[in-house]
Amino acid sequence: MMGPSAYLILSGILFAIGAIGVVARKNALIILMSVELMLNGVNVAFVAVGSYMGDPTGGIFAFMVMTVAAAEAAVGLSILIAIYRLKETIDITELSVLKW
Amino acid sequence: MEPILFTLFGAIAVGGALLVVTRKNPMSAALSLIMSLFAVAALFVLRQAHFLAAIQVIVYAGAVVVLFIFVIMLINVPENRLPIEKPTVYRLLGVVAAGLLMIEGGLASRNFSAPATAVGEVGSVEAVGHALFTDYLFAFEVTSVLLLAAVVGATVLAKKKI
């Protein structure tokens, strides 16, 4: 029988790798994928803690996070398609219209 | 048995995540993302969360990543027009931020210990469905509004002229 700390540490590693991707990459598609990785890392923590506490609430939270992730991917990718039509690029450093 | 399987699938999940962040080609990154998500589904099975493992495979690998691959093929950026990824200060800052997150998480979960009660079948379809349609019914219904908003938003954004 393992303790929950291993799952929490794994969840932290997945979240941190996703955070590196969001900050360091320039390809907007890969940034969106890294956001999915971060949400997925959080799900690992929810499921592990929920199952160790014997409470289905953790699973419900993970379920809601998955719904939000799917909605976010759909809207984010359609924004990306609209940007690509206008600017012919997915490089976030070139998309600086709103930058002061 | 659990530690061995946890190490195996945890390593696959972390390896897939690292590949997502490091690949230049978005298609390789999307396929690595599938690998990572499948390994996380296996971890859910290890924690007896069978329903969530199935949902993970169907919704993430079956819908979200397919959407990503669809968009990659639709906009089809040529190899020489992909963003040039040079080592910048942002990369260093990203690694520092990730390290700080890890340290914070380690400190926060250091003293976490689960009660020694026997773990029931909290992740089965029956348990999740019961919780979802009694205690969390309102949240479940609000989720449908969220999905409707996402569908309308995606349709409007995908129009020829915004």
Report how many Cβ contacts below 8 Å link chain A to chain B: 250
Whether B86 shows a pLDDT value over 80: the answer reads no
B48-66: burial string, b at 16+ Cβ within 10 Å, e else: bbbbbbebbbebbbeebbe
Alpha-carbon gap, residue A27 to A33, rounded angstroms? 10
C-beta contacts of A15-18 below 8 A and 24+ residues apart: A15/A41, A15/A42, A15/B101, A15/B105, A16/B98, A16/B99, A16/B101, A16/B102, A17/A41, A17/B14, A17/B17, A17/B18, A17/B20, A17/B21, A17/B98, A18/B17, A18/B21
Q: What is the ipTM of this complex?
A: 0.92
Given B82, B88, B115, which is nearest A53 (Cβ)?
Answer: B115
Domain boundaries along the sequence of chain A: 5-87
Partner-chain contact B21 A30, CB within 8 Å: yes
Count CB neighbours of B42 within 10 A. 18
pLDDT classification of A34: cutoffs 50, 70, 90: very high
Average pLDDT, chain B: 86
Chain A residues in contact with B85 by the CB 8 A cut-off are 25-27
Identify the pLDDT of residue B81: 76
Pick from A62, A44, A2: which is nearest to B40 by CA? A44
Partner-chain contact A24 B97, CB within 8 Å: no
Identify the pLDDT of residue B97: 85
Both structure tokens of B6: 């946890």
Chain B residues in contact with A65 by the CB 8 A cut-off are none
Mutation target to probe the B interface, by most B beta carbons within 10 A, among A13, A88, A89 is A13
Pick from B68, B39, B71, B77: which is nearest to B56 by CA? B39
Whether B120 shows a pLDDT value over 70: the answer reads no
Residue A47 sits at the chain B interface (C-beta within 8 Å)? yes
Q: Which neighbouring-strand residues pair with A91?
A: A27
Contact, A21 vs B93, CB < 8 A? no
pLDDT classification of B116: cutoffs 50, 70, 90: low
| Chain A residues 67-96 with a CB less than 8 Å from chain B | 67-75, 77-82, 84, 89-93
Count CB neighbours of A23 within 10 A. 18
Just give the CATH number of A5-87: 1.10.287.3510
Alpha-carbon gap, residue A35 to B26, rounded angstroms? 14
Domain boundaries along the sequence of chain B: 1-106, 120-162
Chain A residues in contact with B153 by the CB 8 A cut-off are 74-75, 78
Q: Which CATH number fits domain B1-106: 1.20.120.1200, 3.40.640.10, 2.60.40.10, 1.20.120.530?
A: 1.20.120.1200
Residue A42 sits at the chain B interface (C-beta within 8 Å)? no
Mutual orientation of helices A57-87 and B65-75 as an angle, nearest 10°?
Answer: 0
